[in-house]
Amino acid sequence: MRILLVEDRASLRQALSETLRRAGFDVAEAGEGKAAMALIEGGSYDLALFDLKMPVFSGLELLKASRARWPLAPVILLSAYGSVEVAVDAMKLGAADFLAKPVDPDHLLMVVLRCLEVGRRDRVQEALVADLSRAPAFQQIVGGSEALRRAQNEALRIAATDTTCLLLGETGSGKELFARAIHNASPRANEPFVAVNCAAIPGTLLENELFGHEKGAYTGAHETRIGRFEFAHRGTIFLDEIGEMGTDLQAKLLRVLEEKTFTRVGGVRPITADVRIICATNRDLDELIERKAFRQDLYYRLSAFPIRVPPLRERREDIPILAEHFVAHFRRELGRADLELSLEAVAFLKDQPWPGNVRELMNRVERAAILAGPDGKMAPELFAAAGPPQGGMSPTVPFGVLADPEAWLEAEGRWRAGEVLRLCGGEHKRAARLLGITAGRLTELMGEVTKPRDLP
Residues 256 and 229 in one domain: yes
Closest C-alpha to 137, from 173, 188, 183: 183
- Is the preceding omega at residue 102 within 30 degrees of 0, hence cis? yes
How large is the angle between the packed helices 415-423 and 428-435, nearest 10 degrees? 120
State residue 122's pLDDT score: 66
What tens digit of pLDDT does each residue of 301-360 get? Answer: 998 889 999 999 999 999 999 999 999 999 998 888 999 998 888 889 998 999 899 999
Domain boundary among 295, 310, 325: 310
Residues 68 and 200 in one domain: no
Domain that holds residue 291: 141-310
Domain boundary among 256, 280, 310: 310
Residues 179 and 160 in one domain: yes
State residue 224's pLDDT score: 83
Q: Which of 43-52, 381-390, 395-404 has the lowest mean pLDDT?
A: 395-404
Say if pTM beats, i.e. exceeds, 0.85.
no
Residues 272 and 170 in one domain: yes
What tens digit of pLDDT does each residue of 401-427 get? Answer: 344 555 555 555 455 667 677 667 777
DSSP notation for 220-276 = T--S-EE-HHHHTTTSEEEEETGGGS-HHHHHHHHHHHHHSEE--BT--S-EE---E
Residues 167 and 287 in one domain: yes
Residues 216 and 337 in one domain: no
Coil, strand or helix: which one is 361? Answer: helix
Is 261 among the domain residues?
Answer: yes
Residues 335 and 429 in one domain: yes
Domain count, the chain: 3
Residues 94 and 234 in one domain: no
Is 133 among the domain residues?
Answer: no
Residues 303 and 321 in one domain: no
The answer to whether 64 and 89 are in contact (CB under 8 A) is no
Is 135 among the domain residues?
Answer: no
Please enumerate in sequence order all residues whose Cβ is within 8 A of that of 275, keeping only pairs 6 or more positions apart, or say none: 229, 232, 233, 234, 235, 236, 237, 256
Residues 276 and 210 in one domain: yes
Residues 250 and 319 in one domain: no
Is 134 among the domain residues?
Answer: no
The answer to whether 361 and 323 are in contact (CB under 8 A) is yes
Residues 303 and 161 in one domain: yes
Is 136 among the domain residues?
Answer: no
What tens digit of pLDDT does each residue of 196-255 get? Answer: 999 888 887 899 899 988 888 888 888 888 889 988 888 999 999 999 999 999 999 999
